[in-house]
Structure 1
Amino acid sequence: MKEGINNTKLLFEERKAITLFLWLFYFMFYSFDIFYNYIRPHLNDQESQFDTERVGLGIWLYILILALLPFAIYFIKKGNPYIVKYIYIISYIGIDILDTLLEILGTTASYASGNIVEVLFVLFSPIFVNKKYFWVVSLGMIGKELLLGLILQDLNVLIPTVIYVILSVIAYILVIRFNSYIQTLTTVYEELRQKEKLAVIGQMAAAIGHEIRNPLSSLKGFTQLQQERYPNTNDYYPIMIQEIDRINSIVNDLMYIGKPRVIKFEKASIEEIIAYTLSITQQQAERQGVIVETIMAGPLPPLDCDDKQLKQVFINLIKNAIEAMPEGGRIEIRVKVLEKHTLSVSIQDEGCGIADENILNLGEPFFTTKTDGTGLGLMVTDQIIKDHRGAMKIKSIIDKGTRVIVTLPILQIDK
């Protein structure tokens, strides 16, 4: 669990874990020491070693360990239980080193490993699902044994050192598995949240779809009527009709964007698709003083696609590039074949750029960096590209410009 995250559920889970750890720690620590230093010698008809005059810190060992509890309670009540586990491991290592040195240094006694709670520290560390804490515990325990062995010149530290290495490997495997499991759950949750957003969008679009189509149908009818009346006076009627049809197509996409659908792939020319999108965006580009340069690298093969949807993709991307340069600029569109199986379309502008923290959220429903945007354009664009088994990458530098790279398979092979 990440420290510092102000999340009630994470705090609750950390508090439960640290509470369980404290109960086990104190129970095992005092039970082991009482049995080892007092009960065991009596069972063996030996003199009790529970003598504060002779054994290390004596009674102060237990007082110091118990004195950690008020600090733990304080931090838990203050809403920062994350630090408690570090206080205990660091304090315990320090106290145990001091106790062992006072007990053995300057005597002929041999080193004996510490309390059973050291095993608890290592094996309980995966419960906190924190790699940093795991390394503190593992390296702390192993380092403690090696340090004592170096100071006391005693090879008896090798056995507990090997044991802690083995336990640390087991604990590390558990930490990795717990982390992987949590990351999987998080990914699934994010996917479900994304689907819920798309479902909301689909419901909204379905509710207003017919309201949009009705005036569009009238608009298309009057446009066709004008075209029939004046067939030779205006070349823009066909484009107007095509754009009305495209709006209808967008409504359909929004209505079904959250639902799986089958796309009918047909051969289409990428040159014609790009040329069409440029004809649609030409007037907007001229008004803003934007120059669009298109570079086609060699002969381009026909593409398996839904050309209407790809036209929507590139219109969205080119309009975004134009809107990023209100004072004018240059847009470069490069189209080339990659590795004979993939087509790449790159759109580079000289606009204001996009901050790194915003790039990751582009394509999310309702997320937009525009003051008057809806956050749906890139979402629809990204979904269409994914439906074509392609990918979209966005690279941007603030005040330098943004580059959008769309890669699409040339052939759509059924999986």
Structure 2
Amino acid sequence: MRPSIRNEIKIKEEERANTLFISLFFITVILYDVYRFIISPLIDPHTDMILLNDTSFIIPFILIYLLEVSLIPISRWYSNKQLPYVTKYLFFIVFMVSSLMTEIFHYVGTSDVYASGSPVELFFILFSPLFVNKKFYMIVVGGVISKYAIMGTLTMSPIVVLPILLLLLFSVITFIILNRFQSYLDTIVESYERASHNEKLAAIGRIATGITHEIKNPLTSLKGFVQLQDLEKTYNPKYSRIMLQELERLTIIVNDLIVIGKPQSTHLKPVVIKDCLEYVVNLLEQEAERKQITIYTSYPEERLQVMGEDVRLKQVFLNMVKNAIEAMPHGGEIRVSLLKEKEWTTIQIKDRGVGIPKEAIPQLNQAFYSTKENGTGLGLMVSYKIVEDYHGKIDVQSEVNQGTTFSISFPTLSQFSADTVVKLSANQGNYHMK
């Protein structure tokens, strides 16, 4: 587990523990005070009703309550500062200091026999294992026992030996619980780290498979055109041009896989979308024919342009059309259309294939997610990222066994004013007009 993630989990767990700790603290304090100030005098006639008879005694308790309540916003402030660990120490120190001062005020200099103690002290000791913090545990145990030792010394009362022994007994029990919690947590962390390591190895395997898948397509094209050149025994400029473009696409694919998910410089220039689509259709036409698939195209007379990069846009369309071909193992038709819709230029790639379940559509842009049996999910992920980099959007409409329509929309070139390009440069990467 990475340190940042581990710290984040610890902070969240500490905040949850603090919420429970503060709630139980006030419940324990209030119930104890209700019992000793109200219930006990009512059931024992020999006990004075301090609330009515001794206002000088009750005023300090009111002040203590106000002080303890004021710790709630303070603890929230520390939580907002990512320091929730301070809360438990604040409550313990405030309670112990106020408790010690109150008992000194009540017993020292009087003839009253020292007979005090609070279940809140036991609450601190018994609750300390839930924080799984030995430092806090030692402070709590040492602080409570020190209070009784101080009061025993000031009042010259040997009776404090009994509560100290009881506290030591409870401390031993809570120490055993604390060690058990720590052992469980260590085991869980170790198991998680081992699982995380195995997951990383599996991810490396998936990445390797994905890289192979992405690079295999242009390599297959290169191989095919080299074989055609060899069969024809002559130089064909068209084949050479396509092979050079495929080599360039290989470079782009490798770069995308290296820097995916990281900010990168993007060089925008006007791109004629029809030219990109015709290139992709010509490239995949033979493969489609072998699988008894017909590709129909529909382009407007207007040469629609968008701001982007020629090779990357071809990669997007190639991924989409190739996915459409693979979605129809028994043949069919693919319709590639180019439309202008107000400020958007939209490319629609429609197939009549197996379709995509509706619940899977939102996950198509995630790495390693694929609806195909041998798919890697990298092709669509890279496509989504390229479209996003060019401030475009992808809409997917699909029905199982009916077909799928991918609509890729980009702002039309006329929408990219000089101010827009400057804004893009400030917001995302380095955009340059050519």
Q: Which has the higher contact order (CA 8 A, sep 6+)?
A: 2
**Structure with the larger helix share:** 2
Return the index of the structure with the highest Cα Rg: 2
TM-score scaled by structure 2? 0.47
